[in-house]
Structures are given as C-alpha cells and as structure tokens.
Amino acid sequence: MYWEKELETIDRKNLERLQLERLQQTLRQAANSPHYGRIPEIGRYVQSGMASIEQVHALPFTTKEQMRQDFPWGFLAADKKEVVRLHSSSGTTGNPTVVYHNKHDLDSWTNLMARSLFAAGVRDTDVFQNICGYGLFTGGLGFQYGVEKLGCLSIPAGAGNSLRQIKLMRDFGTTVAHVIPSYLGRLFDVFQEEGLDPRKDTQLHTLVIGAEPHTEEHRLRIEAMFGVKAYNSFGLSEMNGPGVAFECAEQNGLHIWEDAYLVEIIDPETLQPVADGQIGELVMTTLDRQAMPVVRYRTRDLTRFLPGACPCGRTHRRIDRISGRSDDMFIIKGCNVFPMQIEGILMKLPEVGEDYRILLETIADQDEMIVEVEVKKEWFKGDLAFLERLQKQITHLVRDEVLVRPRIRLVAAGSIPKAEGKAQRVFDHRKT
Ligand code: COA
Ligand code: AMP
Ligand code: ZN
C-alpha cells in the first residue's frame, strides 16, 4: 500500500515538527553557500533558531534569475568534492540554471521517485520504459534510479525513435511507461501506421505523464487511446526534478511530498499567501537537500491546494494540476523555452528586422514551434540561396539554444501584424 508508511501517513502535527527540524537544518546548510551566506535573515535564524515553520515567510524568495546571476557556484553549500552530479537547464547564450547533488541528495531523490511510482501502483513486477530525455534533463536519470530502487525491469529508452520505442515495448513486455503527454499522439499514430493497437498489442497498463501542462480531457483521451491509467507526475529541476508531486491511485490531484519540501502558494503580484484553496504561484523550500538547499523558490507554476483528505490515507497535501505559469515560459516537446532566448538569437543577426512571433501548432499530431522572422528589406530580395542559408542558420542557433528544432519562416519586414500596446510574441494553437 505504501512505500514508507510512517512518513506518507504521518499526522500533521508530527509532519510540522519534522518540517521545522529540517527547515532549520536546511538554513544552517544554506548559510554555507555564497548566495545564502549574504542574506542577513538566514544568518539571524541560524543564530536564534525558529519557533515555527510560519517564520519561513520572513525569508526572502529565491528566483531563477538569482540562480543565473550566481552561476556557477553561488548556490553550492557543500564542499565541491562532495558533489557527485549536476543537472542544468538548456541555453548556450546566457547562464543556465544548475543544480548540484551529493550522495545524500541523490539517495533522497531516488527514494522520492520510488515512493511516487509506488503510490501510482507501479510494482517490482513491472517492466518500466522511460521515454524521456536522459543527460541533463532530470526526467531521465530521475526516473531511472527510482525505477531501479523499486525493483522493476527498467528500459532506459530515452526520447525519440517511435518505431524503436514500440519494438522495445513489444519485445520486453513493457507494462508502464513514462512519456511526455504531447508525444503520445505521435506515438499512437506510429502504432496505427504499423497496423498495431496499443490496447491489444502491448501489455501496457499504466502511463506516467508529466513534464508539461495537460488537461484532464487530455488525460482521459490518452487513457482511452492506450487502454491504461495515466498518472500525473510533477517536478522541476530546481527541486530535483520528477518526484516532487505525484498522483496516487485515486487520481484526484498530486500529493506533494511535504517531508522533503515546504510548500507555499502565493499571489504572484502581492507575493502574499493566497487564501486556502485559491490558485497562486507555488513556492518551495527544500527540506532534505545538502549540496544545494533552496529557500522559498518561486517556481512560477500556478496551482492550488485541494481540500479534504485523500482516501488513500496519505496525509501530504494534494495540489491541483498545473494550470499555467506566472511568467512567459512555455514547454514544447518536453523542452522549456523562454521567448527571450529566441529573441536574443534573432536580435544578434543583422539581417533580422524588428519583429518576430512564435506560433505553437499541432501538425500531424506533433507539436511544432514555428518562428516567423521579419527580414530587413535590403536582405529580403530574390536571393533564394541567401534566404535559405539564413533560415538554416537560425534553425541551428535556435535548436542549440532550446533543444527543439524550430520551423523558421522568413517574412518581409512589416508583414507581422503589429499589436496595440505590448507585443504578443507567443501564439499557442496546440491541440491538447
Ligand atoms: N518525447 C519523446 N520523443 C519525442 C518527443 C517527446 N516529447 N517529441 C518528439 N519526439 C520524437 C519524434 O516523434 C521523433 O521520432 P519519430 O520520428 O521516430 O517519431 C523524434 O523524437 C525527433 O523528433 P523531432 O520532432 O524531429 O524533434 P526535435 O528535433 O524538434 O526535438 C527531441 C528532439 C524530441 C528529442 C527533444 O525535443 C527532446 O529531447 N525532448 C524530450 C525532452 C524531455 O525528456 N523532457 C523531460 C524533462 S524532465
Ligand atoms: P524542468 O526544470 O526542465 O524539469 O521543468 C520544470 C517545469 O516543467 C515546471 O516548473 C513546470 O512548469 C513544468 N512541469 C513539470 N511537470 C509538470 C506537470 N505534471 N504538469 C504541468 N507542468 C509540469
Ligand atoms: Zn492519495
């Protein structure tokens, strides 16, 4: 029933006691890092101790921008020698965000992953195919270690190559797969092109879907197409990656693991806590990380706490599926993109004009990012070879930056409709 009964069903009073203890330990550890070592409030609490977890509200937030500014070592709170792995966001132009782990941190993350998968009904008898980027993406190794700890047969398939994914599923009898939801449409099409039906021609019974927003309707469609139960998995690299919040068998929201994270939901404008049950921005503090503790991290993800106890018996609060972001980041094919990353590339090119826009479309069941780029009059002439070279150059630069191959559409200067007021850069027409 539970992976760690005592911790998963701990009563609120004892949970809060544990959180307070871990929060103080986290602050002591954080104070060793150049970034948090500069913050007087942290120094004060390290000196005086904390009377209750509510005092966390007196601490300043941590943002992605600060992580970028303090790149590469500003958040490191342990001896560099102890660090055994790092994960980093994409990006070749500005500083990426980087997260460090020591052995304890990796064990703790692995355990959270095993706990999450167990809650969704995955067992050591399952064959688990991880269809997700490995390397610096956290979904690869994060799931891998959790699945191995749980004792499943793991297939570290990685992303891409749909035919091979299907062959692996059929050859080894995959019963559970972790897949980014927007890719499942494409995968289903390939099943059909091969004359196969995943409901009959595989042993899949469970899909773990996450890493990008999706609706309840999308989940239901996935469940029907594949004949499975699909469970929502939420996480972010700054908080390890997957294994932060996960649906249990009840599929009624995601338990957020409160022994490992102190969770707040704030109004992104006023930065004050929202009323219980209201949607706001998720703010998280790590409670069990040593190499890189993070205090009050503004995730920019919008959600709310769900009311009531879960029939599964787990006492960790549930959050609703992520309903949006409080910044302009979007996710395509499981890759995070900030429009400014694309703008940064375009504006360095002398041939590029004033305007551009990003269209997100679903074409033949695959999500695609189309970037319309205005080219200055003097360059937008009949020289097709030149324009083709420019298009290729932009494609490569964007692909290197955000890890997804864009479709670049070069257009004449002035042809992108001007918005009144603030320019809208991203037009999301994807089918969900
Ligand atoms: N997951 C797995 N495979 C995907 C995918 C996704 N989200 N999106 C597309 N693919 C497949 C495509 O179907 C194609 O395979 P096929 O032709 O055999 O069907 C192959 O990957 C390449 O697709 P393409 O559209 O040319 O991709 P791209 O060059 O724009 O992007 C990806 C390359 C898909 C490999 C890259 O976007 C990626 O690594 N995505 C996964 C990110 C991830 O794992 N995020 C989770 C973080 S926790
Ligand atoms: P990364 O740090 O690259 O793993 O990306 C983390 C971001 O992906 C989160 O901050 C969310 O915006 C998004 N994300 C991850 N899981 C989910 C999910 N289940 N639903 C919606 N968005 C998600
Ligand atoms: Zn539950």
The pLDDT-based confidence of 169 (bands split at 50, 70, 90) is very high
- Pairwise pLDDT comparison (39 vs 95), residue with the higher score: 39
CA distance 229 to 223: 6
Q: Which atom of ligand 2 is nearest to the CA of 138?
A: 4
Q: What is the mean pLDDT of residues 179-184?
A: 97
CA of 12 to the centre of ligand 3 (A): 15
pLDDT score recorded for residue 95: 85
pLDDT score recorded for residue 381: 85
Q: Which atom of ligand 2 is nearest to the CA of 237?
A: 2
pLDDT score recorded for residue 162: 98
- Residue nearest (by alpha carbon) to ligand 2 atom 20: 213
Q: What is the pLDDT of residues 150-162, one digit of tens each?
A: 999 999 999 999 9
Q: What is the mean pLDDT of residues 198-206?
A: 98
Ligand 2 close to Cβ of residue 241 (< 6 A): yes
**Residue labelled with tokens 């067992």:** 123
CA of 378 to the centre of ligand 2 (A): 42
pLDDT score recorded for residue 257: 98
Q: What is the pLDDT of residues 375-396, one digit of tens each?
A: 999 999 878 999 999 999 999 9
The pLDDT-based confidence of 418 (bands split at 50, 70, 90) is confident
pLDDT score recorded for residue 400: 96
Domain with CATH 3.30.300.30 in the chain: 330-428
- Residue nearest (by alpha carbon) to ligand 1 atom 7: 333
CA of 338 to the centre of ligand 2 (A): 13
Ligand lying nearest the CA atom of residue 313: 3
Give the chain's mean pLDDT. 96
pLDDT score recorded for residue 304: 98
Ligand lying nearest the CA atom of residue 256: 3
Q: What is the pLDDT of residues 297-344, one digit of tens each?
A: 999 999 999 999 999 999 999 999 999 999 999 999 999 999 999 999
Does residue 432 surpass a pLDDT of 80? no
Ligand lying nearest the CA atom of residue 318: 3
Q: What is the pLDDT of residues 67-97, one digit of tens each?
A: 999 999 999 999 999 999 999 998 877 789 9
Q: What is the mean pLDDT of residues 229-236?
A: 98
What token pair was written down for 411?
A: 């257009």
Ligand 2 close to Cβ of residue 243 (< 6 A): no
Domain 330-428: which topology?
Answer: GMP Synthetase; Chain A, domain 3 (3.30.300)
Domain with CATH 3.40.50.12780 in the chain: 1-326
CA of 111 to the centre of ligand 1 (A): 28
What token pair was written down for 362?
A: 């679903």
CA of 405 to the centre of ligand 1 (A): 9
Query: Cβ distance 117 to 129 under 8 Å?
Result: no
pLDDT score recorded for residue 193: 98
pLDDT score recorded for residue 221: 97
CA distance 335 to 340: 15
Does residue 172 surpass a pLDDT of 80? yes
pLDDT score recorded for residue 421: 77
Q: What is the pLDDT of residues 271-304, one digit of tens each?
A: 999 999 999 999 999 999 999 999 999 999 999 9
The answer regarding whether domain 1-326 maps to CATH 3.40.50.12780 reads yes
- pTM for the full predicted model: 0.97
Ligand lying nearest the CA atom of residue 232: 2
pLDDT score recorded for residue 345: 96
Ligand 1 pocket at CB < 6 A: 131-133, 137-139, 159-163, 180, 183, 186, 190, 211, 241, 333-335, 366, 403-405
